[in-house]
Structure 1
Amino acid sequence: MTNILFIMCDQLRHDYLSCGGHPHLKTPNIDALAARGVRFDRAYVQSPVCGPSRMSYYTGRYVASHGAIWNFVPLRVGERTMGDYLRPLGLRTALVGKTHMAADEATMALYGIAKDSVEGVHLAECGFEPYDRDDGIYPPGFTEKGKKTGYYRYLRDKGYDTDNPWHDFANAAERQGGGTASGWYLANAPLAVRLPAEETETPYMTRRAMDFMAEAGDRPWCLHLSYIKPHWPLMAPAPYNAMYGPEHVVPAVRDGAEKQAPHPVYAEFQSHPESLNFSQDKVRETAIPTYMGLVKQIDDSLGELFAFMEEKGLMQDTMIVFCSDHGDYLGDHWLGEKELFHECAVRVPMIVVDPSPEADGARGSVSHALVEAVDLLPTFIEFAGGTPPDHVLEGRSLLPLLRGPAGRVPAGWRDMAVSEFDYSFRRFARETLGRDVDECGTTMLRTERWKYVYCDGFRPMLFDLAADPDELNDLGGDPDHGPVCASFQARLFLWMRQRRRHVTISRADIAAWTDKAMGYGIRIGFWSEDETVRGRPDETSTP
């Protein structure tokens, strides 16, 4: 039996694991996973925003190809997703947690596809069976949406009887002297939520994953366990809210020079509230310990899950992937949140455990190959015995990296990672910069040495990662680096031309179509029957 456990955290940085180099945050269960598999230390997402990043994970396609450019932008009907590829291979494909999927309801209605039909559910849920979908983030204005979740019902059954127990208990604390202190405000981050730890979101989702595995029986499965944390609101249950303090906060990666005549797009994001706040040491020392506590809770919950899987005999035949949808600035580069392309935002943790004997030679190793989120879907397909359709999928299977000698990078492996971000949904950025809604595209090209960022209507950003690994010195406006920028703009044009456009017909079918018309007796442009024998005109035989 072949199973796949696809674990994703939301907004987890690549360097906030002990195996990723954090000096204070200890994640022994995730570290043990890395010791059993391969840790990819240069893994990049296709967008530093939840929705488009996840749609690339689920479709195996770049944002320019699938079109879901930001959160809540529907993934169009016709974009095949993970379940569409894995179900025909015999895997029950289910979801516990978050996807950020928005259904293309207009097209579904156009073709009469009911949302509650089998087909409609798959189209609305990224191809997954929604065993327990919960996207989290239900502030007061999202109360009705939150009521549709299993976690809402769980909290109500526990006696937390408000219209929005997700906010009022799982993401809020008791204010000293009475009242509610909301996790939406960074000043409240050190406070403990009004729930015991075992009733908060991360342990709940972990138990639901165990429920699925217990019910699955002998049928192979792919379970997407998608944690909501450490994404904001930044508030944790006891004891996780107090495990770390200001002394555990690593210094911000930033330099005063970054504020001197910065790129216009970068400058705009520096001015946003999350950036202005996280630029202050007091805010970082208040909020980051809670972020760390939420990561620690995920690690503890995974320890329970892995012990359950060992007991049930599931570890020896389950591929396990641990990753994130994007990172978090946490004050680096004078920024908060994500959305731009510095390493802390676009580079993510990625650990893959292949249980196959062929993978024994690479276990416990670290791969420095450039890998991307789009690589996971073809990896899953190949692991499950299928053939990835390379006329549709834009990633490449990681099995050659997992099953070769430790550290080997196959010949012809990519030398460039790509990520995209469209800030048209950020009204203040769009209006301040004077851009139309279709003039806000940005694209990162990251090679071994360089990181180039194309920005519609502005000069590019450019970082020499060999001389400036912390990305503190933007060379995009330096005339001496004009030729480097020009070469990357040419690479970007070529990359755009190479997107998978012929998604309804394979390359083999295109090649086989050659000369079919002749076989059918169709004769276009020939002078005489003699020419059809030769296949082309002969200048001496035509008038």
Structure 2
Amino acid sequence: MSDRRNLSRREFIRMVGASGPGLALFGACGSAERGGRGSAGREPAEEDEMNVILIIVDSLRKDHVGAYGNRWILTPNMDALAADSLRFDRAYPESLPSIPARRAIHTGLRTWPFRDWHRASRQDVNLYGWQPVPEDQTTLAEILHAAGYSTMLVTDTLHQFRPGYNFHRGFDVFHFVRGQERDLYRPASLCPEGALRKVLLGGPKREHATRIMRQYLANTRGRRREEDWFAPRVFLKAMEFLDSAREAQPFFLLVDAYDPHEPWDPPAHYVRLYDEEYRGLEPQIASSGDSGWLEERQLKRMRALYAAEVTMVDRWLGNFLDRTQELGLLEETLVILLSDHGHAFGEHGIAGKVPSALYPELLDIPLLLRHPEGRGAGRSTGYPASTHDVAPTILGNVGLDPPSPMDGTDLTPLLEGDRPGQERPHLTAGYHDHAWARDGEYALIVRRDGSEPRLFDLREDPDQRRDVAPERPEIVERMFEEYILSDAGGPLPAY
């Protein structure tokens, strides 16, 4: 596909359509639900304190963003944000997928190695670490709320809606945009007749994928305008919150967008940017596992649908950032954007998110840190960063100490070109029953008991195509014992 990165933002808007948020949509956030724990005893904030906007974009691969070298996907707004930010070139989730990663973001504490895991009630995701924020852990929102911040959350990440998951704790207002994926928002029987027959379904989890799509198609029935899609709805609600936040500074606004998570069904004008010739069933869902069931043309279409979804998210992120600037808030607001993990599209023979496939397409995530005074703007850093660094970094920037120590490190010194207090010769992560470790030379993927290791020499093989574990068992043993078991504080839990 051709290089599209030289497009101006005006040309980009012309390509994807001129529709945008109308001024009539901006107003009070009275439709948001009241919530949050610990509102009593809140201290008034000092004047001129820094606001914070934290943006989580689910399933966004680093190599699908122009600022990280992508040459065929349109992401002008993320690229512009990166130009004003400190860009992290080595950022990874502490654990994954969605819920474990968000627990680390919200608390600054490691979720992996998933100790004391139990399958939560009313839960259909049976993955280690997939459970609520523990009651004895304090969230970033609770800390900022107690310091006098107005705290707001808008998200369409459906798993956070479940009772008792505690992601809304500490927020004065929160708004859940309903209907993503298998959210039981409408009866599945409302799935439009014939709609499911237009979707390509197959692979190792065909039955599961079919259930998701039937529910999703019922949830999204009746959409007409682009503003009815999920990413626009999330960022439009976030803009409403901004209007109210302007009168209630300092504020903390968390914008958590589930797109570009599957299913991928963006409006057609985005898809045409990447693929105009396809005429088959739409591969809108990956059926996570072996990608061998997909023909190469179907994989190409799947990649195009994902790229189109990324571009739609980027466009509405741009609308949101434009509104932030119009309100005069960017000059006094710290902005952080990151993802929780990526998604595989046939690399290493996998499509989707599989615990054993802890390769760059799943683990390399974007992380941008924009300081209102321009510190670190336009620079990049190779310091290894992770999702559990977000909370201590925000607190470090606004001058607050956590009530108890956090596992993550404050990345603020990097804005001035200094090193954080914690050196990181290696990083570790976990996904269900698999663990991952890497340093400057090697990456290791292994089951929780150390079996079935795969080792890659990053100096010669950055894409991790050639497993050298049989040739270098001593390195496998060292990384498993000195990195994985050491970080875990002992053997990984067995269930």
Query: The TM-score by the shorter chain falls in which range?
Result: 0.7 to 0.9
Aligned residues of 2:339 and 2:367 also touching (Cα < 8 A): yes
Matched AA of 1:209: A
- Deviation of 1:411 (Å): 7.1
2:453 corresponds, among 447, 460, 466, to: 460
Structure 1 residue aligned with 2:123:
none
Does 2:363 match 1:342? no
Q: CA 1:18–1:46 in 2, change beyond 3 Å: closer, same or farther?
A: same
Matched AA of 1:400: P
Does 2:435 match 1:421? no
Aligned residues of 2:343 and 2:362 also touching (Cα < 8 A): yes
Aligned residues of 1:59 and 1:79 also touching (Cα < 8 A): yes
Secondary structure of the 2:298 match is helix
Structure 2 residue aligned with 1:368:
382
1:236 corresponds, among 263, 266, 270, to: 266
**Greater Cα radius of gyration, structure 1 or 2:** 1
Q: CA 1:469–1:298 in 2, change beyond 3 Å: closer, same or farther?
A: same
Q: CA 1:224–1:124 in 2, change beyond 3 Å: closer, same or farther?
A: closer
Does 2:408 match 1:395? yes
Aligned residues of 1:16 and 1:25 also touching (Cα < 8 A): yes
Q: CA 1:77–1:342 in 2, change beyond 3 Å: closer, same or farther?
A: same
Does 2:240 match 1:211? yes
Gaps of 5+ in 2: 1-47, 118-126, 203-209, 279-285
Q: Distance in 2 between matches of 1:353 and 1:469?
A: 28
Q: Distance in 1 between matches of 2:194 and 2:143?
A: 49
Aligned residues of 1:75 and 1:103 also touching (Cα < 8 A): no
Q: Distance in 2 between matches of 1:498 and 1:58?
A: 25
Q: CA 1:392–1:409 in 2, change beyond 3 Å: closer, same or farther?
A: closer
More deviation in 313-322 or 337-346? 337-346
Q: Map 1:152-171 to 2 at 5 A.
A: 163=187
Q: CA 1:183–1:199 in 2, change beyond 3 Å: closer, same or farther?
A: farther
Q: Distance in 2 between matches of 1:7 and 1:219?
A: 18
Aligned residues of 1:103 and 1:125 also touching (Cα < 8 A): no
Aligned residues of 2:426 and 2:439 also touching (Cα < 8 A): yes
Percent identical: 25
Q: Determine which structure has the larger helix proportion and give its number.
A: 1
Q: Map 1:210-289 to 2 at 5 A.
A: 210-216=239-245, 217-245=247-275, 274-276=289-291, 280-289=295-304
Q: Distance in 1 between matches of 2:292 and 2:437?
A: 29
Q: CA 1:290–1:228 in 2, change beyond 3 Å: closer, same or farther?
A: same
Q: Map 1:106-505 to 2 at 5 A.
A: 123=166, 125-129=168-172, 131-134=174-177, 136-139=179-182, 142-143=183-184, 146=185, 163=187, 179-181=194-196, 185=200, 194-216=223-245, 217-245=247-275, 274-276=289-291, 280-338=295-353, 339=355, 340-356=357-373, 359=375, 362-388=376-402, 392-402=405-415, 404-405=416-417, 409-410=419-420, 413-422=423-432, 441-457=433-449, 458-476=451-469, 478=470, 480-491=471-482, 492-497=484-489
- Deviation of 1:356 (Å): 3.1
Does 2:61 match 1:13? yes
1:28 corresponds, among 70, 76, 87, to: 76
Root-mean-square deviation (CA, aligned residues, Å) is 3.2
Gaps of 5+ in 1: 106-121, 148-162, 173-177, 249-270, 423-440, 500-543
- Deviation of 1:186 (Å): 6.0
Q: Distance in 1 between matches of 2:319 and 2:410?
A: 30
Aligned residues of 1:74 and 1:103 also touching (Cα < 8 A): no
Does 2:102 match 1:59? no
Q: Distance in 2 between matches of 1:46 and 1:394?
A: 11
Matched AA of 1:198: E
More deviation in 448-457 or 304-313? 448-457
Q: Distance in 2 between matches of 1:223 and 1:471?
A: 37
Structure 1 residue aligned with 2:160:
101
Cα deviations by residue, 1:77-119 (Å, 9 ceiling, x for unpaired): 11222212221222222211145337684xxxxxxxxxxxxxx
Cα deviations by residue, 1:490-543 (Å, 9 ceiling, x for unpaired): 2123222399xxxxxxxxxxxxxxxxxxxxxxxxxxxxxxxxxxxxxxxxxxxx
Structure 2 residue aligned with 1:533:
none
- Deviation of 1:374 (Å): 0.7
Matched AA of 2:111: V
Q: Distance in 2 between matches of 1:285 and 1:11?
A: 18
Aligned residues of 2:93 and 2:341 also touching (Cα < 8 A): yes
Aligned residues of 1:48 and 1:341 also touching (Cα < 8 A): no
TM-score by length of 1: 0.68
Structure 1 residue aligned with 2:51:
3
- Deviation of 1:222 (Å): 1.1
Aligned residues of 1:13 and 1:344 also touching (Cα < 8 A): yes
